[in-house]
Amino acid sequence: MDDKALKQVPKFKYLVSIFAEDGKNKEDIVQRIKEAKVMFSNEKQQLCSNNFSVEIKKKLIRSCIWSVALYGSETWTPEKNEERVINAFETWCWRRMLKIKWTDRITNDEVFQMAKEE
């Protein structure tokens, strides 16, 4: 620009997305999941209460939590490991909402089935 060379940086943040020079999105995905977990923690009282039906809580998770987690996902090219991170986060949400402890020995498939049915 104007006969000046632009400096290449290893990563930069534009709006709320992190772009890396190698084109990988791992850091951005991890950051979005962290922010979504904070949002879930802020709304935990409503998302885990017995005052709302499971259907309402699922809609709240899909609209409030997933919108934070997946913001900017149109530009992602996730690899298998990043897909596992996203799936683990989804399982984490459903387990918290349904009040399922890890010690209950309920598989992730069963958790997804319970979240789907209720």
pLDDT band at 118 (very low <50, low <70, confident <90, very high): low
Residue 61 lies in a domain: yes
Residue 68 lies in a domain: yes
Which residues are within 8 A (CB) of 94 and not within 5 positions of it... i.e. 6 or more apart? 61, 100, 111, 112, 114, 115
Residue 27 has what pLDDT?
Answer: 87
Domain that holds residue 46: 24-117
Partners of residue 40 on adjacent β-strands: none
| Percent of the chain topping pLDDT 90 | 47
pTM of the prediction?
0.80
Residue 58 lies in a domain: yes
The answer, yes or no, to whether residue 67 has pLDDT greater than 90, is yes
More confident residue, 14 or 41: 41
Residue 43 has what pLDDT?
Answer: 92
Which residues are within 8 A (CB) of 45 and not within 5 positions of it... i.e. 6 or more apart? none
Residue 6 lies in a domain: no
Residue 81 lies in a domain: yes
Residue 13 lies in a domain: no
* Residue 92 in tokens: 């984490």
Residue 80 has what pLDDT?
Answer: 93
Residue 66 lies in a domain: yes
The arithmetic mean of pLDDT across residues 34-56, rounded, is 92
Residue 103 lies in a domain: yes
Tally of domains within the chain: 1
What's the pLDDT tens digit per position in 71-82? 888 888 888 999
What's the pLDDT tens digit per position in 8-40? 888 878 777 778 777 778 888 999 999 999 999
